[in-house]
Amino acid sequence: MRKRILFIGPPLYGLLYPLISLAQAFRVIGHDVVISSAGKFANKAAEAGLVVFDAVPGLDSEAGYRHQEELRKKSNIIGHFSFFSDEMADNLIDFAGKWRPDLIVYPPLGPAGPLVAAKYRIPSVMLAVGFAHTSAHIQMLNRSLSNAYRRHGVSGPLCDLAWIDVAPPSMSILKNAEEPVISMRYIPYNGGAVKETWWDRDSDRKRLLISLGTVKPMVDGLELISWVMDSANEVDADIILQLAINARTGLRKLPSNVRLVDWIPMGVFLNGADGFIHHGGAGNTLTALYSGIPQIVFGEGADRSVNAEIVAMRGCGIIPDKHGLTSDLVNRLLYDDSLRFCSDQVAAEMAEQPSPAEIAEVLMRKLKNNGK
């Protein structure tokens, strides 16, 4: 029977894009899917072929996140930041009341999901984005919406129908004592693009990708990658540096073996690359694991330190020491066979996990049984 599935997509790349593959899977097997986001990220979700509800038209979430991070660094206090769920809540409640979804899917940093689910007693599923999620973590995020719960007369969140874990089984640390946990293969979604001629490798040189994500360089600057600007020509490799146009303050002249790009579908580039250097965001970490690519992971801030530690413990990557990024460290990344061996193992492991389409069918069966 055809069902309505509502996805809660927080308006930041690293929180929205990991939802897309499962949303597309539900649509492909015949269900009606709407993904809710805000501002320009509503358009980004629509570009993935999905119907979108823009809960906060005109919201500049990237500017809002920068402001939040600046406040956090000044006060050294982690406040109750809802990742824009509070801003989305009222319109989302109104939309869900009219559309009446049968299932709500939300990420850990999308606490509007449990709010809407509790308001209308709709079954919900938490789709983990990364590794370091616990019931206590979800409860903390739910508390960031305490005012919204009061506004809408909801006493608190309900138990989820299930949690979905996208970590490779040998690297999973997801902790949950209540809802059942379902393993699902992480399928990278990084947006689309028209293929350009330079995408093809035209030499036997190593290919190295570098990215600090879409938010960190805007907030913290480019100090982490000073090696790229000063010494990248010491390594015999073609280097692709992904850095958004609005995050290039302080960027100096780059060596001749470095190509600077704004946005690329990272999953395509990692397929066949020799190494990936990144900040440690869950999306980049899992995309590299999926592609079997050794990593250097900085792991600073948020859940990135946990992501970096798990990658290093599994033998798939390196965490820079106090000296930061160096030519010796990069050469180790490119030529250490043990890193490649472990990365290949994990990629093979992920290939055996159930696909998003299979999990969509599993959730439909659970939803059917839930009503009995």
**Are residues 29 and 135 part of one domain?**
yes
Q: What percent of the chain has pLDDT over 90?
A: 62
Euclidean distance between CA atoms 70 and 295, whole angstroms: 28
**Are residues 282 and 218 part of one domain?**
yes
**Are residues 130 and 18 part of one domain?**
yes
pLDDT band per the 50, 70, 90 thresholds, residue 179: confident
pLDDT of residue 216: 56
pLDDT tens readout for residues 11-57: 999 899 999 999 999 999 999 999 999 999 999 999 999 999 999 99
Composition of the chain by helix, strand, coil, percent to 5? 45, 15, 40
Angle at 368 between CA 366 and CA 371, to 5 degrees: 105
Q: What's the order of all strands across the beta sheet hosting 124-127? A: 51-54, 32-37, 4-8, 103-106, 124-127, 162-165, 181-183
**Are residues 161 and 89 part of one domain?**
yes
For residues 37 and 20, is the Cβ–Cβ distance under 8 A? no
**Are residues 285 and 240 part of one domain?**
yes
Helix (H) or strand (E) holding 206, with range, is: strand 206-211
Residue 192, domain member (yes or no): no
pLDDT band per the 50, 70, 90 thresholds, residue 308: very high
- Those residues whose C-beta lies under 8 Å from the C-beta of residue 199, and which sit 6 or more positions away, are 268, 269
**Are residues 358 and 325 part of one domain?**
no
Burial class (CB within 10 angstroms; exposed 0-12, middle 13-18, buried 19+) of 163: buried
Kindly tell me if the per-residue pLDDT of 156 is higher than 60.
Answer: yes
Count up the domains in the chain and report the number: 2
**Are residues 242 and 132 part of one domain?**
no
Euclidean distance between CA atoms 93 and 89, whole angstroms: 6
The CATH number that applies at residue 25 is 3.40.50.2000
3-state secondary structure of 39: coil
Closest CA to 251 of 234, 220, 226: 226
pLDDT band per the 50, 70, 90 thresholds, residue 329: very high
Tell me the pLDDT of the chain averaged across its residues. Answer: 90
pLDDT of residue 302: 66
Euclidean distance between CA atoms 290 and 311, whole angstroms: 12
Closest CA to 187 of 361, 350, 10, 363: 350
Kindly tell me if the per-residue pLDDT of 169 is higher than 70.
Answer: yes
**Are residues 117 and 236 part of one domain?**
no
pLDDT of residue 3: 97
Residue 191, domain member (yes or no): no
pTM equals 0.92
Q: What is the mean pLDDT of residues 301-327?
A: 90
Residue 327, domain member (yes or no): yes
**Are residues 137 and 279 part of one domain?**
no
pLDDT of residue 222: 65
Q: What is the mean pLDDT of residues 261-286?
A: 89
Kindly tell me if the per-residue pLDDT of 372 is higher than 70.
Answer: no
pLDDT band per the 50, 70, 90 thresholds, residue 370: confident
Residue 45, domain member (yes or no): yes
Q: Which region among 95-104, 112-121, 281-290, 300-309 has the lowest average model confidence (pLDDT)?
A: 300-309
Kindly tell me if the per-residue pLDDT of 362 is higher than 60.
Answer: yes
Q: What is the mean pLDDT of residues 161-169?
A: 96
pLDDT of residue 80: 75
Kindly tell me if the per-residue pLDDT of 224 is higher than 80.
Answer: no
Greatest alpha-carbon pair distance for the chain in Å reads: 65
pLDDT band per the 50, 70, 90 thresholds, residue 301: low
**Are residues 181 and 139 part of one domain?**
yes
Closest CA to 256 of 278, 242, 241: 241
Residue 328, domain member (yes or no): yes
pLDDT band per the 50, 70, 90 thresholds, residue 266: confident
**Are residues 164 and 68 part of one domain?**
yes
Q: How far is CA 49 from CA 79, 80, 100, 348, in A?
A: 35, 33, 21, 29
- Those residues whose C-beta lies under 8 Å from the C-beta of residue 349, and which sit 6 or more positions away, are 168, 169, 170
Residue 131, domain member (yes or no): yes
Residue 302, domain member (yes or no): yes
pLDDT tens readout for residues 53-87: 999 999 988 888 877 777 766 665 555 788 889 99
Q: Which region among 16-30, 86-100, 127-141 has the lowest average model confidence (pLDDT)?
A: 127-141
Residue 293, domain member (yes or no): yes
**Are residues 365 and 338 part of one domain?**
no
pLDDT tens readout for residues 193-223: 898 888 887 778 999 999 876 555 544 556 7
Residue ranges making up the domain that contains 278: 197-351
